[in-house]
């Protein structure tokens, strides 16, 4: 884990309220790290529903495969997460490790193994010895408390320089419901669901199919719209759990995605996921600047997003931003290589409010001094208008610094 906290870390953190029906505990299992917690459990009351989205990598980790098998039932009683080892590309040993962990977790929570969810993060290709920590789960479940959200966020960190956690409230019917979320991620971050690990819990009474619909739709414009380095992890997992305990305060049970009473909850969930996703971007390994890339005037929204990602993932664009150089020629390059409809002589480019290129050439009113001053900021907005249609998309990334190479050059050592 990097020793210096990212300069883009949150200046203040929220006080995390309890989510009724959720208890949390974390401990030091010594999986890879020393003198820090690396094993976390989240225990859910009976009746908790679950939804999830996972990596689209063709080489998924053993825990991702395990979660996919259990998700169709839509019920959860315990989540077990370890850091320091991804349990990915570990073959039969990986499957044996998840089976051993699931058996111990089910016994600890007095639940069925199909109500267990697992996630692992860290080095790929190293066998995970579940014998190191499966015997700890019984005590962890007993010790679990409602308020330990920050502790949970710290326990799942790898190269992160700060913990990521956020809370929101929403109206469901006449009742207030709570939504809490944690995330981890700093490198190997690219939008292909879910770009890292993130776990969100609410006390709202929402049926599993509705929860899944909410999560899948909210992911598109949040976690699937961020990229640090274009690399999709084998372990990407985003899960949403709903305990239903707010029913005791008058919250209605929601069984249809079209229920109009969901509007406030849907907005709050989207905002919470966006905040977590941006916290991941702002902790991009070695990052010094957050970059927002907006593409308008594309043939379609899908085309706009592909072009935006081509810009956001370009090492040349990202290194220019790190060097505080408004090298708009690199943005032109990234638009041109995206493989999407674009017309050179219709293209306009802005850095912040400064239009640097227009109708296929440098803007005649462009001021190098003005844009150089803008590039010194720690939040940079790049906008491209293609002038061809109504498609638009926004994605977020960070700059690419020497420290990214340093962190990833010795990650395993």
> Cα–Cα–Cα angle for 351, 352, 353, nearest 5°?
105
The contacts of residue 57 (CB under 8 Å, 6+ apart) are: 192, 232, 233, 234, 236
| Length, in residues, of the chain | 413
Angle at which helices 91-109 and 62-70 cross, to 10°: 50
In sequence order, what E strands does 67-216 have?
78-85, 116-123, 164-172, 175-184, 197-202
Find all residues with CB under 8 Å of 367, minimum gap 6, and list them.
354
Nearest Cα to Cα of residue 71 among 21, 116, 120, 121: 116
Token duo for residue 339: 């493989």
The torsion angles phi and psi of 106, rounded to 5 degrees, stand at: -65, -40
**Residues 331 and 309: beta-carbon distance below 8 Å:** no
**CB hemisphere CA count around 286 (13 angstroms):** 19
Tokens of 374: 């803008």
Fill in the DSSP letter of residue 221. Answer: T
Catalytic residues: 195
Residues 6+ apart with CB under 8 A from 185: 160, 164, 195, 196, 197, 198, 228, 280, 283
Residue 115 is encoded by which pair of tokens?
A: 């109500």
Angle between helix axes 328-337 and 315-322 (nearest 10 degrees) is 160
Report which of 2, 281, 4, 50 is spatially closest to residue 157, judged by C-alpha positions: 2
What residues pair up with 44 in beta bridges, in sequence order? 22
Cis peptide before 194 (omega within 30 of 0): yes
Residue 398 tokens, joined: 């960070």
Pair type for strands 361-362 and 354-358: antiparallel
Taking CA atoms, 365 is separated from 330, 355, 380, in Å, by 20, 8, 20
């Amino acid at each position: 884990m990097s020793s210096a906290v990212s300069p883009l870390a949150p200046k203040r953190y929220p006080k995390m309220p309890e989510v009724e029906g959720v208890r949390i505990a974390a401990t030091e299992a010594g999986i890879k790290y020393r003198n820090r917690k690396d094993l976390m459990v989240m225990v859910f009351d009976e009746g908790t529903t679950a939804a999830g989205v996972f990596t689209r990598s063709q080489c998924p980790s053993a825990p991702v495969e395990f979660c996919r098998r259990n998700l169709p039932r839509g019920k959860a009683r315990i989540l077990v997460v370890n850091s320091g080892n991804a349990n990915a590309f570990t073959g039969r040993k990986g499957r044996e490790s998840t089976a051993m962990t699931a058996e111990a977790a089910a016994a600890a929570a007095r639940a069925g193994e199909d109500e267990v969810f697992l996630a692992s993060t860290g080095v790929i290709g190293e066998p995970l010895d579940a014998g190191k920590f499966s015997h700890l789960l019984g005590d962890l479940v007993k010790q679990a408390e409602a308020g330990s959200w920050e502790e949970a966020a710290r326990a799942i960190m790898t190269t992160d320089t700060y913990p990521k956690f956020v809370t929101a409230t929403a109206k469901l019917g006449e009742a207030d419901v709570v939504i809490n979320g944690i995330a981890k991620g700093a490198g190997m971050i690219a939008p292909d669901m879910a770009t890292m690990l993130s776990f969100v819990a609410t006390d709202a009474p929402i049926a599993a199919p509705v929860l899944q619909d909410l999560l899948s739709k909210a992911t598109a414009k949040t976690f699937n719209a961020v990229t640090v380095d274009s690399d999709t992890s084998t372990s990407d997992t985003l899960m949403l759990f709903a305990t239903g305990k707010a029913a005791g305060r008058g919250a209605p049970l929601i069984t249809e995605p079209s229920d109009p009473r969901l509007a406030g909850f849907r907005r709050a969930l989207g905002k919470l996921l966006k905040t977590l996703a941006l916290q991941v971007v702002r902790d991009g390994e070695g990052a010094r600047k957050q970059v927002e890339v907006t593409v308008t005037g594309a043939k379609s929204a899908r085309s706009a997003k592909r072009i935006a990602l081509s810009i956001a993932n370009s090492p040349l664009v990202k290194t220019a931003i790190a060097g505080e150089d408004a090298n708009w020629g690199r943005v032109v390059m990234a638009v041109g290589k995206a493989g999407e409809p674009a017309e050179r002589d219709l293209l306009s480019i802005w850095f912040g409010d400064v239009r640097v290129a227009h109708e296929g050439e440098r803007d005649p009113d462009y001021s190098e001094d003005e844009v150089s001053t803008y590039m010194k900021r720690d939040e940079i907005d790049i906008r491209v208008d293609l002038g061809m249609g109504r498609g638009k998309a926004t994605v977020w990334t960070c700059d690419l610094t020497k420290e990214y190479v340093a962190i990833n050059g010795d990650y395993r050592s």
